[in-house]
């Protein structure tokens, strides 16, 4: 099947917005796909897949075409697109002027050269490779490889509206093949990728799209119906919704976030899911939490982090993060741990969680917190690496004595 020029131009335009104008990939792709209702499903898939693939393999492709990935331009992006299409071997390239430079590149030879240098082969910036080697040692190369592999499409059954068996039957009837995941009681994998947000099952709140690793965080809190729970960094509320289901809609969940638009989305999701015990508050000042001091049964701190464990879902994060960003996030994590833990009552449990795989954001933060807070003790911690099959996550449960 032929490649249409306007569709290829859309891919290039998107990459210019991501790498030259410094916009976020997900926002760019979403806006682009909405801009032309005449594009069919094949065109939309071509655009989305190639934008995300080239973003993921940005350094690798620029190495092959002999360009500095930090000094790209539209000509280099056209050439990178042509090389990527040849590597995928989907079909012969159109005879367009924009692809003229592709024929002069010995792709096989350059690919062999890239295999010698893991940070080029797996397409990671120098500073991030150095940080990964420092913190994870030999394990880092394995994780770089895993972070470039496609992420499975995992759903969490909303047990406020159906059971996991009923949800599987729902998809089976629609001839969408699914499978259970051992030791993940509310999770199923949907084998064929599709836009689920327009489906009736999603609109009626039967499930949420949530990776298996992320689904482990809410149960780590050991909640029970009737408890008072604070989700202090709730975002759009995926874990708040899971907590409401685990609590069988009995008790209270306070969902906090500094971004009002995220809480607006959480309200919509809660209504769709019938999660009636969630109360949202915009977090405008740390003093907000003082009203609950010593009153909370469970505290979830799903703190802001580098997101290195979920880069395969957010490939442009590799190119948006900086060493300074990492330092700022680590300071923010320390601040949240130190200042929010006061809301717990004696015997309460706090869970600190990140979607990072760096010890400096994970166990090191907990060790430092415990060194200066002897009223807390570590109950359990869990580290999940992307090479295990799902997103990279860390979680630690701490008991207030």
Q: Which residues are catalytically annotated?
A: 355
User: H/E/C letters for each residue in 131-159?
Assistant: HHHHHHCCHHHHHHHHCCCCCCEEEEECC
How many angstroms separate the first and last alpha carbons of the chain? Answer: 66
| 3 state SS of 297 | strand
DSSP-H helix ranges across 22-138: 25-35, 41-56, 58-65, 74-88, 107-114, 118-121, 126-136
- Yes or no: say if 234 and 262 are a contact pair by the CB < 8 Å rule: yes
Please give the radius of gyration of the chain, using alpha carbons only, rounded to the nearest integer.
23
Q: State the DSSP H helix or E strand holding residue 282, giving kind and residue range, or none if neither.
A: strand 278-282
| 3 state SS of 185 | strand
Distance CA 110, CA 156 (A): 42
For 72, phi then psi, to 5°, come to -80, 165
């Amino acid at each position: 099947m032929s490649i249409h020029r306007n569709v290829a131009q859309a891919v290039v335009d998107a990459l210019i917005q991501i790498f030259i104008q410094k916009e976020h990939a997900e926002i760019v792709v979403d806006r682009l796909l909405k801009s032309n209702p005449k594009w069919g499903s094949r065109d939309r898939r071509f655009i989305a897949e190639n934008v995300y693939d080239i973003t993921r393999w940005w350094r690798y492709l620029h190495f092959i075409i002999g360009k500095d990935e930090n000094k790209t331009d539209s000509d280099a992006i056209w050439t990178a697109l042509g090389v990527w299409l040849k590597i995928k071997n989907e079909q012969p390239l159109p005879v367009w002027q924009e692809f003229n430079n592709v024929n002069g590149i010995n792709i096989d030879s350059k690919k062999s050269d890239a295999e010698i240098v893991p940070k080029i082969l797996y397409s990671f910036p120098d500073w991030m490779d150095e940080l990964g080697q420092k913190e994870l040692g030999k394990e880092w190369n394995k994780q770089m490889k895993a972070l470039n592999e496609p992420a499975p499409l995992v759903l969490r059954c909303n047990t406020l509206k159906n059971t996991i068996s009923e949800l599987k039957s729902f998809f089976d009837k629609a001839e969408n093949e699914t499978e259970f995941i051992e030791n993940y009681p509310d999770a199923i994998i949907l084998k064929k990728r599709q836009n689920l947000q327009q489906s009736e099952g999603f609109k009626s709140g039967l499930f949420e799209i949530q990776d298996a690793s992320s689904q482990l965080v809410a149960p780590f809190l050991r909640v029970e119906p009737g408890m008072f729970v604070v989700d202090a960094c709730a975002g759009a509320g995926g874990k708040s919704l899971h907590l409401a289901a685990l609590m069988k809609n009995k008790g209270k969940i306070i969902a906090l976030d500094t971004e009002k638009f995220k809480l607006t989305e959480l309200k919509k999701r809660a209504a769709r899911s019938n999660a009636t015990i969630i109360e949202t508050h915009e977090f405008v000042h740390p003093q907000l939490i003082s009203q609950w001091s010593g009153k909370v049964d469970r505290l979830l701190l799903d703190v802001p982090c580098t997101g290195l464990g979920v880069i395969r879902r957010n490939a442009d994060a590799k190119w948006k993060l900086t060493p300074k960003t990492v330092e700022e996030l680590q300071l923010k994590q320390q601040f949240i741990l130190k200042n929010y833990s006061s809301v717990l009552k004696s015997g309460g449990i706090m869970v600190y969680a990140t979607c990072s795989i760096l010890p400096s954001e994970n166990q090191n933060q907990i060790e430092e917190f415990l060194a200066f807070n002897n009223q807390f003790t570590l109950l359990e911690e869990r580290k999940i690496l992307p090479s295990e099959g799902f997103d990279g996550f860390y979680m630690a449960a701490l008991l207030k004595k």
